[in-house]
Amino acid sequence: MHLAIGKTNRLLDKIYEGGGKKSVEKLHAQGKMTARERIEYLLDEGKPQLEVGAFAGYEMYAEHGGCPAGGVVVMIGYVRGRQCIVVANDATVKAGAWFPITGKKNLRAQEIAMENRLPIIYLVDSAGVYLPMQDEIFPDKEHFGRIFRNNARLSSAGIPQIAAIMGSCVAGGAYLPIMSDEALIVEGTGSVFLAGPYLVKAAIGEDVDQETLGGAATHSEISGVTDYKMPDDKTCLDTIKDLVDKMGRFETAGFDRQESRPAAGAPEDMFSIFPDSSGKPYDSLELLRRLVDGGELTQYKEHYGKTIICAYARIDGWAVGIVANNRQVVKNAKGEIQFGGVIYSDSADKATRFILNCNQKKIPLVFLHDVTGFMVGTRSEHGGIIKDGAKMVNAVANSTVPKFSVVLGNSYGAGNYAMCGKAYDPRLIVAWPTAKIAVMGGEQSAKVLTQIQVASLKKQGEAPDPKAEKELFEKIKNRYDAQTTPYYAAARLWVDAIIDPRDTRQWISMGIEAANNAVVEKFNPGVIQV
């Protein structure tokens, strides 16, 4: 685990460099701070921060020079003690241009703001859509234009939006700051216009410089587009702090919190409890005790459906309901062996009822994934595994209390859905460096796909010899394994972050604190056959 965390941190160090040293120096020469410097200055010193989507775009767009962190930095932190989400374009990466993953990451930031009623602060410094890939970022429902739709929805919901124009703000991107509640602009570096000087010349033949067309004086004194003219980056950020400081408070959801207590043992104990191989069993309860206050758990239906652990506990003082895959091999009441990490009918039934109870009592849910899927085979099918699995999925889908997912190890197939994968709207979903997310494991997938390809070749009278069959298996397995890594998932924002397991409590605690800003809707489970 230490080695896995070390690898993650080395990759993050590289990502934090953005477009590289020369690009940073060029930015500084213009009197501008980098995106990360701006965020560091804006957020309260000494308070915890959560970065969302640092691995976005990892190993993607190589033919375009790459896009570290998706060209935008998203951070949940505190401004004058108020929890906010900050979105800052990284102008060192293709001048802050929007790649497809940039749009997806911005939409994720807005989604977090909407779900949790978090004030959102945009630090704008972008050249607009990355034109070579405009067809993948411009026209579709989840593309660039959805961001402005969300601006309007956030404003309608009374969720504060503050935008600071600290660099270029061009074309469609100009709507983002102006659709926010308040807009600031920095003299000399900030500019906003629907069409820049070159396009204006091409379209209507007018010669105009950038500052006259859409600089700070123009929009603060003539057009009235912006609300505050700032002399430099730091003054701009200081003004944002003052604006946040005056905001009123939302009605809270009323989640229960007591004084925080440390978990049992040392955080590093998790490294020795969690195995070095995804196929090995381990003591899941002992792992949970390293995450919850005082190591104290009240298990629901402890002796029934043993391949899932359902328990009430506290994390950093917050009351939570935990749904965790039990990776130990157990015996059911009939003395039958049940494999750890597999969801059986009795486990699904137990988890469904527990999720319903947590919704009834307004207790946030925490899902800890290490699941290989639902049990298969004749006995399971005859026992109604599909029906019981559907009940659990239904309960997760209709749950109205906030859900938080942590992928510890495997998260395969329908098990990912039942344990509240990304498709089921967890408020936050993070992965340990040991996570694997896929339809099934690499070896199983390779066997299935190899069998299909061999059968196809046999039909054509070209059955491969054992050596060729083995080579085919290894080729498929290697490709599949590469797609199950947490880095592959994080690059595509299937998870919000890859985290050090020792930071799990902080992610959950700050997530619940954010969720407490939004009143919980009445729970309506729909039709659940019991």
The pLDDT score that the predictor gives to residue 141 is: 81
| Pair of tokens at residue 414 | 């329908």
Query: Is the predicted pLDDT of residue 528 greater than 70, yes or no?
Result: no
The H or E element containing residue 238 is helix 233-245
Whether the predicted pLDDT of 250 surpasses 80: yes
Q: What is the rounded CA–CA span in Å between residue 233 and residue 185?
A: 9
* Predicted confidence band of residue 379 (pLDDT cuts 50, 70, 90): confident
Confidence of residue 38 (pLDDT cuts 50, 70, 90): very high
Please give the Cα distance from 329 to 259 (Å, whole number).
Answer: 36
Q: What is the pLDDT of residue 393?
A: 95
Look at residue 34 and tell me whether its pLDDT is greater than 60. yes
- DSSP per position, 391-406: HHHHHHHH--S-EEEE
Q: What secondary structure does DSSP assign to 401-452, as a single string?
A: S-EEEEEEEEEEHHHHHHTT-GGG--SEEEE-TT-EEESS-HHHHHHHHHHH
Determine the average pLDDT of the residues in 365-390: 90
Q: What is the pLDDT of residue 447?
A: 77
- Tell me what pLDDT residue 457 has: 75
Which of 66-70, 99-103, 274-278, 512-516 is predicted with the least confidence, judged by mean pLDDT? Answer: 274-278
When pLDDT is cut at 50, 70 and 90, the band that residue 338 belongs to is: confident
Nearest to 268 by CA among 290, 288, 286, 284: 290
Model pLDDT, residue 377 = 84
pLDDT at 172 over 80: no
Residue 421 has what pLDDT?
96
The answer to whether 228 touches 241, Cβ cutoff 8 Å, is no
Q: pLDDT tens digits for 179-206?
A: 999 999 999 999 998 888 888 888 899 9
CB 408 within 8 A of CB 370: yes
Q: Structure tokens of 397? A: 């889908």
From 527, 512, 523, 526, select the one nearest 254 (Cα to Cα): 512
Give the pLDDT confidence score for residue 529 in this predicted structure.
52
Place 526 in a pLDDT band, splitting at 50, 70 and 90: low
Cβ 133 vs Cβ 100: under 8 Å:
yes
Do residues 179 and 152 make contact, with C-beta atoms less than 8 angstroms apart?
Answer: yes
Q: Is residue 444 pLDDT above 80, yes or no? A: no
Q: What angle do CA 456, 459, 462 make, to 5 degrees?
A: 85
Minimum mean pLDDT range among 5-9, 104-108, 110-114, 378-382: 378-382
Residue 91 gets the label, from left (phi > 0), alpha (psi -120 to 50) or beta, of alpha
Q: Write the DSSP assignment of 308-368 as a string of letters.
A: EEEEEEEETTEEEEEEEE--S-EE-TT--EE-TTEE-HHHHHHHHHHHHHHHHTT--EEEE
User: How many whole angstroms separate alpha carbon 416 and alpha carbon 423?
Assistant: 9
pLDDT single digits (tens) 57-113: 999 999 999 999 999 999 999 999 999 999 999 999 999 999 999 999 999 999 999
CA dist., res. 218 & res. 230, Å (int): 13
Residue 246, number of CB atoms within 10 A of its CB: 7
What is the reported pTM? 0.92
CA torsion 114-38-14-437 (nearest 10°) is -10
Instruction: Please measure the distance between the N-terminal and C-terminal CA atoms of the chain and give it in whole angstroms.
Output: 41
pLDDT of residue 164 exceeding 80, the answer is yes
Residue 465 scores a pLDDT above 80? no
Report which of 37, 78, 42 is spatially closest to residue 240, judged by C-alpha positions. 42
Rounded Cα distance, 321 and 402, in Å: 11
